[in-house]
């Protein structure tokens, strides 16, 4: 036999369909380099195939096989040694050892295995001293329920905080922030495969994905601002409309070995959306600036000198002219110091 074997794992395992009572030489070579190769001698005993014939894996976690005919109706003790590892959790290691005694011709054993894990099961017969190695892989299950703080507000959009989920049932792949009309909260299904963008034709009635984050890009207690007009992944975080009622959902997605699972939680309810804090701050600052300008103009107007028309209509005496000139000069000096300009005052 000649074939290729591709793997990403640091400790790959490969099972071969070999004939019993035969000695094999296995030559393993890395195609990228002719200097990397190894030779393995394998001697297959006839008794091994007889003791574990028709070995099957059922429902991912169960093993079933046929015993040798000459061992029928006799009690046999099997020693199980199980080791499990995960490529996405380097520190994870699951190990079990136990004995299994049976008299049946077709024994069946179901194992308590973790989800999303690669296992190696070594089964040894204690009387015949024969063993077989069985690789097993369990599928992922739903990721843990999102650890979030539920928020309900009436007014501006709240700032949401995202916490990382643990890879206990499989590798976490994505985090999605979903915006729904509040009326659709009770009809939303977490396993919905439709990842609608804001620019889809039906977003007004079905909601949309506002942001998607890769698991490796998520930091614990990461702040998320809704409606900041940025793209996260291929999704647009569109501004929320005023006067609308919204439901915000966090969805955690796991993908591995062609299996996709997800868990969802309601993150926030927003009722009667009002302008954001930034918008209100800008409006407030603009109002303060306008009031300051009006007060400044009023102050300058109040300090301008007005000469009554009745005084100008009659001929002033020399004493009045001297006093009035002095007053006008003083007022002019104050106006010049405040406006840094020159103003002429003439008498009609």
Q: Once rounded to an integer, what is the mean pLDDT over residues 126-149?
A: 89
pLDDT tens string 11-24 = 788 888 777 667 78
Q: For 260-292, b where at least 16 C-beta lie within 10 A, e where not — what string?
A: ebbbbebbbbbeebeebeeeeeeeeeeeeeeee
Write the CA distances from 175 to 131, 192, 221, 247, integer angstroms: 44, 15, 13, 17
Q: Does residue 250 register a pLDDT over 70?
A: yes
Alpha-carbon distance of 264 to 249, in angstroms, equals 7
Of 192, 189, 142, which Cα lies nearest the Cα of 167? 142
Q: Mean pLDDT, the chain, as a whole number?
A: 78
**Average of per-residue pLDDT across 78-107:** 93
List beta partners, residue 100.
78
- Per the CB < 8 A criterion, the answer to whether 173 and 255 are in contact is yes
Cα separations in angstroms, 227 against 184, 252, 314: 20, 20, 72
What is this structure's pTM?
A: 0.63
Tens-digit pLDDT profile for residues 305-341: 444 444 434 444 443 433 334 343 444 444 344 444 4
Task: Count CB neighbours of 76 within 10 A.
Answer: 18
Q: Which two tokens stand for residue 188?
A: 């939303």
Residue 65: pLDDT band (50, 70, 90) is very high
Mean pLDDT of 269-276: 72
pLDDT on residue 345: 36
230, pLDDT greater than 50: yes
Residue 62 scores a pLDDT above 90: yes
Nearest to 116 by CA among 156, 151, 165, 168: 168
Residue 132: C-alpha distances to residues 52, 66, 75, 80 (Å): 8, 13, 19, 10
CB 134 within 8 A of CB 84: no
| Residue 119: C-alpha distances to residues 124, 147, 168, 307, 345 (Å) | 16, 30, 16, 103, 101
């Amino acid at each position: 036999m000649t074939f290729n074997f591709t793997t990403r794992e640091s400790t790959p395992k490969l099972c071969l369909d070999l004939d019993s009572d035969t000695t094999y030489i296995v030559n393993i070579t890395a195609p990228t380099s002719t200097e990397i190769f190894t030779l393995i001698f394998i001697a297959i005993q006839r008794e091994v195939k007889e003791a574990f014939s028709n070995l099957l894996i059922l429902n991912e976690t169960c093993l079933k096989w046929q015993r040798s005919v000459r061992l029928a109706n006799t009690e046999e003790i099997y020693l199980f040694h199980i080791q499990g590892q995960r490529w996405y959790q380097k520190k994870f290691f699951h190990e079990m050892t136990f004995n299994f005694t049976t008299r049946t011709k077709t024994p069946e054993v179901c194992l308590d295995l973790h989800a999303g894990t690669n296992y190696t099961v070594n089964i040894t017969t204690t009387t015949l001293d024969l063993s077989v190695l069985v690789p097993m892989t369990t599928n992922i299950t739903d990721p843990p329920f999102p650890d979030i703080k539920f928020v309900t507000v009436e007014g501006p959009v709240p700032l949401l905080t995202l916490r990382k989920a643990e890879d206990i049932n499989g590798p976490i792949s994505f985090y999605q922030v979903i915006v729904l009309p509040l009326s659709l909260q009770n009809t939303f299904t977490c396993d919905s495969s439709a990842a609608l963008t804001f620019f889809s034709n039906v977003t007004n009635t079905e909601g949309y994905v506002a942001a998607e984050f890769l698991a490796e890009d998520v930091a614990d207690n990461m702040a998320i601002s809704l409606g900041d007009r940025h793209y996260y992944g291929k999704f647009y975080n569109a501004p929320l409309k005023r006067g609308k009622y919204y439901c915000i959902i966090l969805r955690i997605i796991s993908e591995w070995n062609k299996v996709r699972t997800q868990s969802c939680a309601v993150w926030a309810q927003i009722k009667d959306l009002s302008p954001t804090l930034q918008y209100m701050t800008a409006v407030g600052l603009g109002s303060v600036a306008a009031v300051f300008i009006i007060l400044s103009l009023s102050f300058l107007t109040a300090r301008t000198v007005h000469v009554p028309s009745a005084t100008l209509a009659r001929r002033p005496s020399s004493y009045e002219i001297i006093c009035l000139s002095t007053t006008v000069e003083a007022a002019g000096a104050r106006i010049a110091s405040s406006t840094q300009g020159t103003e002429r005052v003439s008498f009609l």
